[in-house]
Structure formats: structure tokens, C-alpha cells
Amino acid sequence: KQMNTNYTGLFTRHSIWIDSEGERGEQLVLENIDIVLLSDEQLKLLIESVLSDCRFADISLIDRDFYHTEMYSCDFRNVTFINTVFTKSEINDTRFTSTRFIKSNFSNTELFDCDFSECVFEGSSFISAGFWNSRFHECTFTDIDFESAYFENIGLSDVRFIIR
């Protein structure tokens, strides 16, 4: 897929911002976009970005880095994450439907008011993650590390936990 030129400047400034540890450039803020519009190179630069009302559908994200990313009111449908880093991210009011998380890292991530339906979590880490007011419906957790994770006001329905 070709690089989306509508966002080229934003990603260039974000790359400079990351490389300079926030001294130069500008943090990436994406609002109300369909993530399929982004090129593979742009998808690699979502680290430490702010995503608001973004849509992710029918996509596989392998070896992606969402480290320290803020997500607000995003929608994930039929997405597969493999070896994806969400460490130190803040995820708010976001919906995950028919989404797979394989060997993904949510350590020190904070999740507020999220909705997980028909999701599969496998071989993933939630070490020191925090969950507030989140709901899990028809989800399967296989070989998950919840060490020191915090849960408050969580809804669980038709959820399975499997340890191999």
C-alpha cells in the first residue's frame, strides 16, 4: 500500500518528536480516521501517539508498537494483534470486537471503560495493568500473566480462563 500523503507531514513531525524525545517535532494526534487509510510505514509510527475515534477493522498488526499510546473512543473489529506492545498505554472508552491478542504486552497499561466482546487473549502479559469499569463478554484468556494487575468494577460474562 502506498504511503497516504494526506498524513505525511504529521508522521514526519511525529518521527522527529520521537527521535528528539519530545524536544522537536510534534506528537501525532489522529482523530476520526479509518486506520486502513494508513500505509505500513505509517502504522509502524503509532508509538506514543494519541488516537481518538479511530477505526481499525479487518487487519492484522504483527510486531507493532503502541508503547505509551493514548486511545480514546476507538473501535477495533476483527483485528489480530501478534507480538504487539501496548506497554504504558492509556486506553479509554474503546471497543474491541472479535479481536485476537497473541503474545501481546499490556504491562503497566491502564484501561478505562473498555468493552471486549468475542475476544481471544493468548500468551499475553497484563503485568501491573489496571482495568476500571470494563466489560468482557465471550472472551477467552489462555496462558495470561495477570501478576499485580488491578481490577475495579469489571463485568465478566461467558469468559474462559485456560492455563496450559
Smallest CA-to-CA distance from 74 within 48, 96, 102 is with: 96
Q: How far apart are CA 27 and CA 47, in angstroms?
A: 10
The predicted-structure confidence for 10-23, as pLDDT tens digits, reads as follows 999 999 999 999 99
- Regions of the chain with pLDDT less than 50: 1-3
Q: What does pTM read for this prediction?
A: 0.93
Smallest CA-to-CA distance from 120 within 138, 107, 145, 95 is with: 138
pLDDT for res 7: 87
Tell me which H or E stretch contains 157.
Answer: strand 155-157
Residues 6 or more apart from 140 whose CB is under 8 A from it? Answer: 119, 120, 121, 122, 159, 160, 162
